[in-house]
Structure 1
């Protein structure tokens, strides 16, 4: 898979991580939150994450 240089990613266990570089291989990602009123970046989640093999 080729990396998308518009989406940086350092989550190496993700199925969509480019493995060779810290980028995502998806064309777009879905970002969500687990908080009702997020105020910090730690409150956001990459909802496109899938555990890789």
Structure 2
């Protein structure tokens, strides 16, 4: 796991992969998904790589 991935910014401090000092994700890649059948807004998308710290 990286210290930070400069390509993935993240402010979700409760995620186990968040570098809280720099506000970046520590993963090489993330999976983005949706909880809606036909997403039309940003709020309809989710980081499916999230794990609770």
Same structural fold, with TM-score higher than 0.5 when normalized by the shorter chain: yes
Question: Which TM class, normalised by the smaller chain length?
Answer: over 0.9
Consecutive unaligned residues in structure 2, runs of 5 or more: none
Moved >2 Å (runs of 4+): none
What's the TM-score, normalizing by structure 1? 0.93
Q: Would you say how many aligned residue pairs link Structure 1 and Structure 2?
A: 52
CA RMSD of aligned residues (A): 0.8
TM-score, normalised by the number of residues in structure 2: 0.93
Unaligned runs of 5+ in 1: none
